[in-house]
Amino acid sequence: MKRLIEYDKNLKSFSRVLRKKMTDAERLIWRKIRGRQIKGFQFYRQKPIGNYIVDFYCPKIKLVLEVDGGQHYQDRNIFRDKARSDYLNKIGFKVLRFTNIEVLKNIDGVINKIWEETD
């Protein structure tokens, strides 16, 4: 039986808002990974996991993709992102982080990195 991932139910409505307001970088990566384009793996976007909402998530291979804008490089947010990644790693997820610029300027490189991590 498949084990469901626990999450804060209060995040569900906020995750819907985030799906409607994706950044340009998030929209670009979503176009490249949706519909099982990466080796047949299904990805979900803006998915609540625990007390967090991750940008993209593939349950089959326990992979989380985060697309970070400039606000992620402020001291306070660096600490929060590390705590988030540590939590996700602790419950068995691998986390790949990409910057908005990386996605927008080198989408092929980003997709290749994701492809490599699905082996």
Asked whether 111 and 57 are in contact (CB, 8 A), the reply is no
**Angstrom distance (rounded) from CA 13 to CA 108:** 32
Asked whether 55 and 67 are in contact (CB, 8 A), the reply is yes
Tens-place pLDDT, residues 19-55: 899 999 999 999 999 999 999 999 999 999 999 999 9
Beta pairing class for 63-68 and 94-99:
parallel
Give residue 61's pLDDT: 95
Asked whether 69 and 23 are in contact (CB, 8 A), the reply is yes
Query: Which amino acid is residue 26, in one-letter code?
Result: E
Give residue 1's pLDDT: 41
Tens-place pLDDT, residues 61-106: 999 999 987 554 556 667 888 899 999 999 999 999 999 999 999 9
Domains of the chain: 23-117 (3.40.960.10)
**Angstrom distance (rounded) from CA 58 to CA 118:** 10
Asked whether 7 and 64 are in contact (CB, 8 A), the reply is no
Task: Give the pLDDT band (50/70/90) at residue 5.
Answer: confident
